[in-house]
């Protein structure tokens, strides 16, 4: 009986520090809730499939990418490698990838998937809904 108790105490000691470390390495949660009109001249780039715009909000900003006629992707710009450093990813010259200027990690603009570099997790994705004119972005 004592052996089992000691075993479980040792397991707890081994796994609790790792669980705490994982929580520290996550992008902080941010409340996001806004609506934009894709007809607004400020967001004219979103009228073309494959284009994106950078907006304030979230932790380090948000990039919105028009994936298709009716689908948009909204990604947190905070890189997932050492996210407490608050390093914001930027679109590369192709406009299809996002690159971190701090660690050189690369992410897909279409879904935030990690493609290369030191990061191991995808970018945080926010919810979107589109009614043909207005795009609602929310967490």
pLDDT digits (tens, 9 = 90+) for 26-50: 999 999 999 999 999 999 999 999 9
What b/e readout covers 99-130, taking b as 16+ CB neighbours within 10 angstroms?
bbebbebbbbbeebebeebebebebbebebeb
Counting every residue, how long is the chain? Answer: 139
Q: Is the pTM of this model over 0.85?
A: no
CA distance 137 to 43: 14
Q: CB neighbours of 13 closer than 8 A, spacing ≥ 6? A: none
With H, G, I as helix, E, B as strand and everything else as coil, classify residue 45.
Answer: helix
pLDDT of residue 53: 97
Q: CB neighbours of 95 closer than 8 A, spacing ≥ 6? A: 50, 51, 52, 109
pLDDT of residue 4: 52
Distances (CA, A) of 70 to 78, 95, 98: 26, 19, 22
Please state the separation of Cα 70 from the chain's center in Å. 21
pLDDT of residue 25: 83
Torsion angle of C-alpha atoms 97, 51, 65, 103, degrees rounded to 10: 20
Over range 49-78, report the average pLDDT: 97
pLDDT of residue 97: 98
CA distance 126 to 56: 14
Q: What is the pLDDT of residues 71-129, one digit of tens each?
A: 999 999 999 999 999 999 999 999 999 999 999 999 999 999 999 999 999 999 999 99
Rg of the chain, C-alpha, whole Å: 19
Q: Is the pLDDT of residue 5 over 70?
A: no
Q: Domain spanning 27-138 has what CATH number?
A: 2.102.10.10
CA distance 60 to 138: 15
């Amino acid at each position: 009986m004592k052996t089992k108790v000691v075993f479980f105490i040792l397991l707890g000691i081994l796994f609790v520090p790792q669980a705490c470390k994982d929580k520290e390495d996550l992008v902080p949660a941010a409340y996001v809730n806004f609506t934009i009109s894709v007809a607004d001249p400020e967001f004219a780039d979103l009228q073309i499939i494959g284009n994106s715009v950078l907006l304030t909000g979230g932790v380090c900003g948000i990039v919105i990418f028009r994936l298709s006629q009716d689908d948009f992707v909204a990604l947190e710009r905070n890189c997932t490698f050492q996210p407490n450093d608050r390093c914001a990813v930027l679109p590369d010259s192709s406009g299809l990838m996002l690159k971190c200027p701090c660690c050189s990690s690369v992410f897909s603009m279409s879904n935030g998937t990690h493609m290369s570099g030191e990061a191991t997790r995808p970018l945080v994705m926010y919810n979107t809904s589109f009614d043909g004119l207005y795009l609602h972005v929310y967490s």
